[in-house]
Structure 1
Amino acid sequence: MTNQGMHTGGNDTKIRDTGAQDVVMNTTPRRKKIKLLFTAAVLVIAGVSANAFINSSDASISMARSAVQIATVERGVLMRDIVATGRVVAANAPQLYSPEKGFVNLQVKAGEDVIQGQIVATVESPELDNQLKQERSELARLEGEFARQELDTRRQTLTITKQADLAKLDLVAADREHRRAQLSIKDHLINQIDLEKAKDELARAQVTFKHAEQEVELAKDTLAFELESVRNTIERQRLVVSELERQVEALTIKASVNGMVGSLFVQDRALVAANDTLMTLVDLSAYEAEINVPESYANDLGLGMDVELKLANRTVTGSLSAISPEVTERQVTARVKFDHDASMNIRQNQQLSARVLLEQRQDVLKVRRGSFTQAGGFVAYRLDGDVARRIDIRIGATSMREVELLSGVQPGDQLIISNYDEFAQAPAILLR
């Protein structure tokens, strides 16, 4: 039966087709549904495949490769070092003190340039000035006493010398009378009694002269001793005066170095006590670095160790020259000597960073340092394709950049060096 009209009987009746009743169906939602079903099927298949892969590789955790840090194990030189911070200090920064109690007169200001020997302050000490005057007066009195003692010594020496000379004359006269008596007895001019008397006079004169000589020597020694005693007293007094003069001269305080005035600790015309700090001078020709090292590395430090210092954009090399014996705020202070010149424009208290080179180890297995060392240094994750497997390792020496590996790895192995907290001690990790 067609859509064209059919003859029924004799009447030409025309039947209409059903085209007007047809409805155009929209197939787009159906196609979308088919696509969604296809995508879901693909995801399910991928998930099943991934799960099967994970199960087949013993991997229990999966994470993106970009979320971890990977480094390669190498064999080479490991330089143990310590990174520290510090500042530039003057190698020679002497402090000046008040030598005595008094009023200080400052001759310079903070930041002012000074040269060695320049007067920077004076201290007025009336007590010291008065004491010096008294001691000088005592010295003058002793010197006058010494001069008088010398005169007395000369007078006494003259007296005893005169007595000795008179005794000698008596001896000569007694000897002459004795000889005359001997001649007279031969001629029977005198009797025996007169001869014996002449002998006695001669003997008396000899004894007198002998004692006179001894008295002269003893008197000279005594007078010389007394003079020497007075002379020693004078010398001692001169030392007292000299010391006081030195103290008075020290009241004029002079710069001990070429440089500048760093800090003033007193005001002008202030009353200061003995040994009070007046100011600090800074020698601008010699600088050192003062660095602070964590106390955990204190036992590793040694005098003469090489140190790399970074000042602004310049790196210089120095050596440890001093290490503090005490720990302050869990840090040890060390001094570093380094070569410098005027072109470096170094300033006092300028901040710097330092790298202390502790030790150089040759031919060791090493890997870049990372957070994995926080796990205790006994485990690591080594890559095997896309799977990182947990292995046992042993860590040796460490530096700020690298870590020595004593066992568990070979050169060329790749290790995850980032933090292992997210791994939950899994035996294997899939990296996608």
Structure 2
Amino acid sequence: MIKDTSGQDRVVAPQLKHKLRVPLILAVLTISVSALVWVSLQYDGNIRSIESKDLRLATLTRGTLVRDIATTGKIVAANAPILYSTEEGVVTLLSLPGDEVEQGQVVAQIESHKLQSSFEQQQSLLASMESSLERAKLDARREQLKVSQVLDMAKVDLEAAERESRRGDQLIETSLISRIDFEKGKDDLHKAMLLHKHAIEEVDLMRDTLAFELKNRALEVERQALVVTELTRQIAALNIKAPVKGIIGNWLVEQKARIGATQPILTVVDLSAFEAELAVAESYADDLGIGMEVELSFGSINVIGHLASISPEVRNREVTARVRFNANDQLSLRQNQRLSARVLLENRPNVLMVKRGDFLNRGGATAYLLKDDIAYKTPVTLGARSMSQVEIVDGGKEGDIWVISGTEAFSNDDSIQIR
């Protein structure tokens, strides 16, 4: 039989420090786990955290707020007349689009056989009427000569009757003629006087009549001359001339096309004066005013102009405005060239303001104020807005830091920790 090892065992008394080591370790572990759980529950229940790299922050400052409107537009010629046909006919375009033309240069011609024929007919009629007028003057002189002859004969007969009357006076005194012959001589004298008087009146009446007829003929000739003059002007107007110095814009008809009267033919662009045509949203229409300053941007070049006109109607929810400006040598402007613009509505000095941001999309009634790495939701009142700044009426002070980026991730919480 094998002997056990009981003879080799001995009793060892346990030490105090070994008795306390395990409970202490367990207590520390329990307290640590409890603290972590409490912290976790505290943050999960009261505040969440957002990384700062996902946010945009801005400091409230005080200064001058320039209220403006951002828009786009295009360059248009301040003077770009459209040339129209004056008569029906076949058009010949003498200048190509883009060609430079001088003022008064013929850029198109219209061939109108109807107008040319009418002009020649009226011109021939004028020549005929002028000839008739000259013939009427000759006839008037002939008629005047005839009545003058009658007056002269009446004058001769009057002188003869007066002579016979004087002879009768002498003879009646010596009783050499009878009383009947004497009275007959007196009657002949009276008759001759009447004939002479009537001849004078006839000459005056004939002179007035001939003058009246000649005047009417002359007026008819003058009226016909006006007709010919007007047709001459219309013939000259068949040569379409450039009203300004510039370039040919666009052909509005084809070469050698048959066109009607008052039909547009082409445009001439005056290169000496340009304007900017802007499309402004109708929501800003009431803020616009004639004379407001406008900053036009042509790439890296900025030019200041002024509003010259504002359209009274709204099209496609936009209002058209014209800006007049002085071009400089650095600008190379072209018709319909695109540009960006900024309409300067007003300057508001000593304004508390902050940079624009996506936080405005939530209505602008609240903002998140950053203090000690925690963003607190704060009610605010916003005022005027510009392209880059927003006026703070209430809810902030100079030096405050706001979250101006979108706050959708905040879930409308009252406070968010920024880490």
TM-score band w.r.t. shorter chain: 0.7 to 0.9
Distance in 2 (alpha carbons) for counterparts of 1:215 and 1:406: 105
Q: TM-score of the superposition, structure 1-length normalised?
A: 0.80
2:310 to 313, 317, 323: 323
Q: CA deviation at 1:204?
A: 3.1
Q: Following superposition of structure 1 onto structure 2, how do residues 239-278 of structure 1 map, counting pairs within 5 Å?
A: 239-278=226-265
- 1:223 is the counterpart of 2:216: no
Distance in 1 (alpha carbons) for counterparts of 2:285 and 2:113: 52
Q: CA deviation at 1:426?
A: 4.0
Distance in 1 (alpha carbons) for counterparts of 2:32 and 2:81: 83
- 1:338 is the counterpart of 2:325: yes
Distance in 1 (alpha carbons) for counterparts of 2:27 and 2:145: 152
Distance in 2 (alpha carbons) for counterparts of 1:76 and 1:128: 72
Distance in 2 (alpha carbons) for counterparts of 1:357 and 1:67: 33
- 1:100 is the counterpart of 2:93: no
Aligned position for 1:75: 62
Deviates more, 1:216-225 or 1:393-402: 393-402
Cα shift readout 1:157-192 (whole Å, capped 9, x = no counterpart): 111222223333333333344444444444444455
Aligned position for 2:40: 47
Q: CA deviation at 1:225?
A: 1.6
Deviates more, 1:411-420 or 1:254-263: 411-420
Deviates more, 1:229-238 or 1:323-332: 323-332
Distance in 1 (alpha carbons) for counterparts of 2:330 and 2:216: 65
Where does the alignment leave 5 or more consecutive residues of structure 1 unmatched? 1-14, 16-32, 55-59
Alpha carbons of 1:34 and 1:275: their partners in 2 closer, same or farther (altered >3 Å)?
A: farther
Aligned position for 1:418: 405
Alpha carbons of 1:35 and 1:199: their partners in 2 closer, same or farther (altered >3 Å)?
A: farther
2:190 to 186, 189, 203: 203
Q: TM-score of the superposition, structure 2-length normalised?
A: 0.82
Aligned position for 2:112: 125
Distance in 2 (alpha carbons) for counterparts of 1:87 and 1:158: 81
Aligned position for 2:3: none
Give the counterpart letter for 1:256 in structure 2.
P
Where does the alignment leave 5 or more consecutive residues of structure 2 unmatched? 1-7, 9-25
Q: CA deviation at 1:357?
A: 1.2
2:121 to 131, 134, 138: 134
SS at match of 1:395: strand
1:165 to 142, 146, 152: 152
SS at match of 1:349: coil
Cα shift readout 1:298-333 (whole Å, capped 9, x = no counterpart): 222222221111112111111122222332222222
Deviates more, 1:368-377 or 1:327-336: 368-377
Alignment: residue pair count? 395
Distance in 1 (alpha carbons) for counterparts of 2:60 and 2:251: 58
Aligned position for 2:349: 362
Alpha carbons of 1:182 and 1:89: their partners in 2 closer, same or farther (altered >3 Å)?
A: same
Distance in 2 (alpha carbons) for counterparts of 1:371 and 1:250: 62
Q: CA deviation at 1:336?
A: 1.6
1:89 to 69, 76, 81: 76
Give the counterpart letter for 2:120 in structure 1.
K
Alpha carbons of 1:37 and 1:86: their partners in 2 closer, same or farther (altered >3 Å)?
A: farther
2:161 to 166, 174, 178: 174
1:235 to 213, 222, 234: 222
Deviates more, 1:390-399 or 1:337-346: 390-399
Cα shift readout 1:212-268 (whole Å, capped 9, x = no counterpart): 222222222221121121111111211222222222222222333333222223332
Distance in 1 (alpha carbons) for counterparts of 2:181 and 2:121: 70
Alpha carbons of 1:171 and 1:44: their partners in 2 closer, same or farther (altered >3 Å)?
A: farther
Alpha carbons of 1:374 and 1:217: their partners in 2 closer, same or farther (altered >3 Å)?
A: farther
SS at match of 1:344: coil
Distance in 2 (alpha carbons) for counterparts of 1:34 and 1:352: 75
Q: CA RMSD in A?
A: 3.2
Distance in 2 (alpha carbons) for counterparts of 1:347 and 1:34: 85
Give the counterpart letter for 2:243 in structure 1.
S
- 1:150 is the counterpart of 2:137: yes
SS at match of 1:116: coil
Deviates more, 1:201-210 or 1:242-251: 201-210
Aligned position for 2:301: 314
Aligned position for 1:25: none
Alpha carbons of 1:85 and 1:183: their partners in 2 closer, same or farther (altered >3 Å)?
A: same
Distance in 2 (alpha carbons) for counterparts of 1:355 and 1:192: 122
Deviates more, 1:265-274 or 1:136-145: 265-274
Distance in 2 (alpha carbons) for counterparts of 1:91 and 1:61: 60
Give the counterpart letter for 2:213 in structure 1.
E
Aligned position for 1:111: 98
Distance in 2 (alpha carbons) for counterparts of 1:138 and 1:158: 30
Aligned position for 2:280: 293
Distance in 1 (alpha carbons) for counterparts of 2:350 and 2:172: 127
Percent identity over paired residues: 46
Give the counterpart letter for 2:40 in structure 1.
G
Q: CA deviation at 1:196?
A: 4.0
SS at match of 1:343: coil
